[in-house]
């Protein structure tokens, strides 16, 4: 049996836990600007029809008394690590798929923790005791069914799909509940008269493959109770990135560079925290017409320096003609290797393209932030805000 553990309204629940005065109030986590979106909504807010990815102005219209809290990624990451550590005490085979959800393979755990239902209840109680938060768990013999089951009795739910129930459960399952079936696929399936996975069994595999491509083959397999997906404990990080929708569209390079600087600090911090060097830096832009552009540059020397990330991203921005105002900007680092990988020393330290001097500064800043908080120290340009527009603190 496979378990899917999903924390309930995770970001919002962490905020309500850390600030008891917010308990019971409709709360969302996200940006409060005119372009902000809801990152997470408490269950009190969901009663107003508010959900993640909803524009913030719409959420405020639906609930005039809505409490809006800025995101604290570091705090959520800290709580997430505690949750994952708890799960790994029950099974060595845990696959974390996001900051607030994971799969756990319960095979061979029965002698220690009893049948799946008892084990799931113990895990829920342990998570509640360790982080004072609730989770919902789905238990099933197939990975995709475990994920679906975890969403059936939220919050603080537990749904078990025993092996003998699988055929009937699948037959009645609406196709929109299947992971991977988005609005486009759902409309195509509706046009074919398919509303449930049971209906999929009546359609020839080649017809579904023609209409849905490779996903059509997977849908047929799921409809017949075949899901070879296994719980994979180690999913290596392939990239680290951050992006932001701007308060207002702009073509001002100085403003865009300031956003790049802040984002590069975060990407560099994550590279160092996770122990990676990046070979490739990517700039992402989305214009006012939602047209997306990405540009990448491969470094001669892999680096985890925030300064190197910034200078590379700024170079990519400078080479990009801004025909239309930018609505979203982001920075990413990819082609990652472990920072324990030997690197060739530069013969001329003053010209070191990997930014080893800046890496020393970055690590010192990281230590200060760990001890006194991330707001304790920052780049002068970022602290100056508009007064520092167009300036660099080189």
Nearest to 131 by CA among 14, 12, 4, 8: 14
CA separation for the pair 53, 36 (Å, rounded): 9
Spatial neighbors of 256 by CB under 8 A, at least 6 apart, are: 250, 317, 326, 329
Q: Characterize 218-250 residue by residue with b for buried, 16 or more Cβ atoms within 10 angstroms of its Cβ, and e for exposed.
A: bbbebbebebeeebebeeeeeebebeeebeeeb
pLDDT at 236 exceeding the cut of 90: no
CA separation for the pair 81, 98 (Å, rounded): 11
Class of residue 183 by CB neighbours under 10 A (exposed 0-12, middle 13-18, buried 19+):
exposed
Name the residue with tokens 């459960």.
169
The CATH number assigned to the domain with range 10-73 reads 3.40.1170.60
Nearest to 48 by CA among 39, 30, 35, 61: 61
Q: What is the pLDDT of residue 338?
A: 84
Q: What is the pLDDT of residue 290?
A: 81
pLDDT at 298 exceeding the cut of 70: yes
Contact by Cβ (8 Å): 218, 180: yes
Nearest to 367 by CA among 354, 376, 358: 376
**Helix/strand number for the chain, H first, E second:** 16, 12
Q: What is the pLDDT of residue 35?
A: 75
Detail the residues annotated as belonging to a binding site for Mg(2+). 6, 100
Detail the residues annotated as belonging to a binding site. 6, 100
Q: What is the pLDDT of residue 358?
A: 62
The CATH number assigned to the domain with range 166-223 reads 1.10.150.20
Nearest to 23 by CA among 49, 3, 42, 51: 42
Contact by Cβ (8 Å): 325, 287: yes
pLDDT at 255 exceeding the cut of 90: yes
Q: What is the pLDDT of residue 288?
A: 82
Model pTM score: 0.68
Class of residue 15 by CB neighbours under 10 A (exposed 0-12, middle 13-18, buried 19+):
buried
Spatial neighbors of 28 by CB under 8 A, at least 6 apart, are: 12, 38, 39, 40, 41, 42, 45, 50, 56, 59, 66, 67, 68, 69
Contact by Cβ (8 Å): 92, 233: yes
The CATH number assigned to the domain with range 239-386 reads 3.30.1490.100
Residues of the chain with CATH 3.30.1490.100: 239-386
CB count within 10 Å of CB 78 equals: 12
Q: What is the pLDDT of residue 379?
A: 61
User: What's the residue count for the chain?
Assistant: 394
CA separation for the pair 308, 273 (Å, rounded): 16
Residues of the chain with CATH 3.40.1170.60: 10-73
Q: What is the pLDDT of residue 360?
A: 67
Residues 302-354: pLDDT tens digits? 999 999 999 999 999 999 988 899 999 999 999 998 887 765 555 444 444 44
Q: What is the pLDDT of residue 186?
A: 87
Task: Write out the H or E segment, with its range, that includes residue 59.
Answer: helix 56-62
Spatial neighbors of 234 by CB under 8 A, at least 6 apart, are: none
Q: What is the pLDDT of residue 32?
A: 78
Residues 146-172: pLDDT tens digits? 999 999 999 999 999 999 999 999 999
The active-site residue out of 95, 101, 307, 359 is 101
Among 30-39, 254-263, 368-377, where is mean pLDDT lowest? 368-377
CA separation for the pair 326, 210 (Å, rounded): 38
Contact by Cβ (8 Å): 139, 2: yes
Q: How confident is the model at residue 73 (pLDDT cuts 50, 70, 90)?
A: confident
Q: What is the mean pLDDT of the chain?
A: 87
Q: Is 370 a catalytic residue?
A: no
Per DSSP, which regions of 183-325 are E strands? 239-250, 276-287, 292-303
Q: What is the pLDDT of residue 157?
A: 96
Residues 86-105: pLDDT tens digits? 999 999 899 998 899 999 99
More confidently predicted of 114 and 369: 114
Residues of the chain with CATH 1.10.150.20: 166-223
């Amino acid at each position: 049996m496979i378990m899917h553990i999903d924390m309930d309204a995770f970001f919002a629940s962490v905020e309500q836990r850390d600030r008891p005065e917010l308990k019971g109030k409709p709360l969302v986590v996200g940006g409060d600007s005119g372009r902000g979106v809801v990152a997470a909504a408490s269950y009190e807010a969901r009663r107003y029809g508010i959900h993640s990815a909803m524009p913030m102005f719409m959420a405020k219209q639906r609930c005039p008394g809505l409490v809006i809290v800025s995101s604290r990624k570091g705090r959520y990451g800290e709580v997430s690590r505690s949750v994952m550590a708890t799960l790994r005490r029950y099974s060595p085979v845990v696959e974390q798929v996001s900051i607030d959800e994971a799969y756990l393979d319960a095979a061979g755990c029965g002698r220690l923790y009893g049948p799946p239902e008892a084990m799931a209840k113990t895990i829920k109680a342990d998570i509640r005791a360790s982080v004072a938060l609730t989770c919902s768990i789905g238990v099933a013999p197939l990975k995709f069914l475990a994920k679906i089951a975890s969403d059936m009795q939220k919050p603080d739910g537990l749904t078990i799909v025993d092996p003998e129930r699988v055929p009937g459960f699948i037959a009645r399952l609406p196709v929109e509940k299947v992971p991977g079936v988005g609005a486009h696929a759902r409309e195509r399936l509706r046009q074919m008269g398919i509303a449930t996975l049971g209906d999929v069994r009546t359609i020839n595999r080649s017809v579904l493959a023609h209409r849905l491509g490779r996903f059509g083959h997977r849908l047929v397999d799921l409809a017949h109770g075949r899901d070879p997906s296994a719980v994979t404990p180690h999913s290596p990080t392939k990239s680290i990135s951050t992006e932001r929708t701007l308060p207002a569209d702009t073509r001002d390079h100085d403003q865009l560079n300031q956003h790049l600087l802040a984002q590069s600090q975060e990407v560099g911090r994550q590279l160092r925290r996770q122990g990676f060097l990046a070979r490739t830096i990517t700039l992402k832009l989305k214009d006012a017409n939602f047209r997306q552009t990405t540009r990448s540059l491969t470094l001669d020397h892999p680096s985890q320096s925030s300064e190197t990330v910034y200078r590379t991203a700024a170079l990519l921005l400078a080479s990009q003609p801004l025909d239309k105002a930018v609505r979203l900007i982001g920075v990413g680092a990819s082609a990652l290797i472990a920072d324990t990988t030997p690197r060739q020393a530069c013969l001329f330290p003053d010209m070191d393209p990997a930014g080893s001097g800046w890496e020393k500064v970055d690590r010192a800043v990281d230590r200060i932030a760990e001890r006194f908080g991330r707001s304790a120290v920052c780049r002068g340009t970022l602290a100056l805000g508009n007064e520092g527009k167009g300036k660099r603190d080189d």
